[in-house]
Chains A and B, each alone.
Chain A
Amino acid sequence: MSSDHLVAPTRAGTFAEGVRDQLPILLGVIPFGLIFGALAVSQGIPGWAAQGLSLFVFAGSAQFVAAGMVGAGAPALVIVFTILVVNLRHLLYSASLAPSLRHLPSRWRVVLAWLLTDEAFATTSARLNRGIQLHADWYMLGTGLALWSSWQVSTAVGVLLGAQVPAGWSLDFALPLTFMALVAPSLVDRPAIGAAASAGVCAVLLAWLPFKLGLVLASLIGIAVGVGLERIRQTAVGVPS
């Protein structure tokens, strides 16, 4: 990892590090983009509109839900509202990264916010968790643009050629595997482990909720459990026995 080098990494080097850390995720995302493009066309969505969703909305789960709703003949405003609900988890990502990115000029934050996805959040927060603040802007730009460009190209290929990845390869499984590797180093103490464990269990129990609300709710429960455990620990430390 370049952070281990004694020489401080350059901006370009950090940008490349962001791209490199996104590569394992792309293994899972590119098939997802191909399938989105192919599925959108099969729902009767014109190719330019499918590409437009990837260009303008740039949020995989929301795009899948939107494509399904278009196919089912839902009104435009209902679709927009659903996109909002599916994307509510970005509020958590935005708040979580804000302390580390607040020193940046607003023109930087406007660009980085555009690139704030599950995938870019996973790599960027994992790097910050390792205590590396240097060139966080260039890192996130690299990791975000790698995802953005792959998403655009894979959507276009899916629209033009259909999904060509055999389902038997199960490449979508690369996504949870990468997230696993990214989350592991943050499980350093009992509150963090408790947060992850309870969010994981609740995400399964609440998976029946529509529009990814199960994930949002499970995350909030996990955060509350983490805060609770931390408070118990602090009380235990603070009060001499």
Chain B
Amino acid sequence: MTLDFWAVVLLGGMAVTYATRLSFLVLIRHDRLPGQVRRSLRFVAPSVLAGLIVPELLLTDGHLAAALLQPRLVAGLLAALVTWRFRNTWLTIAVGMVSLWILGALLPG
């Protein structure tokens, strides 16, 4: 690992990452997008966030958990119920974390 290696990784990694972030905010005019694409943007947040959440509940080390009574799934469903009913982030975290700790102690991981 020479200095050249790190210059390429750090500056190259920065350039490609920043380019994806700058893309529609700065580099490409958003109103050049076709109308249909613009109307689809309201689904970005629900889709990406659900895509980040659900695997965290169902997968362990990249594999579908063998048992459905898996601590993360049950704790996640309880937290989802709390979010749906109370719309409170800290309460959701508290219920989710505490039930994960309790279930983790009771159920096989």
Contacts and interface: CB of A to CB of B under 8 A. Distances in A.
B44 interface: yes
Nearest to B30: A98
Given A59-B17, A76-B5, A227-B36, A192 B43 contact: yes
Contact of B1 (A70, A95, A168, A182): A70
B22 A113 contact: yes
B1 A46 contact: yes
Main secondary structure on chain A at its contact with chain B?
helix
A73 to B, nearest CB: 9
B67 interface: no
B93 A92 contact: no
Main secondary structure on chain B at its contact with chain A?
helix
Interface in B1-36: 1, 4-6, 8-14, 16-26, 30-31, 33, 36
B47 A181 contact: no
Which size bracket describes the interface of A in this complex?
Answer: 35 or more
B39 A227 contact: yes
B45 A121 contact: yes
A90 B23 contact: yes
Closest 5 CB pairs of A and B: A222-B47, A200-B54, A226-B43, A80-B12, A98-B30
Given A80-B9, A186-B45, A116 B25 contact: yes
Given A56-B14, A113-B25, A174-B93, A191 B43 contact: yes
Given A199-B47, A200-B53, A66 B21 contact: no
A110 interface: yes
Interface in B94-108: 96-97, 100-101, 104
A58 B13 CA distance: 9
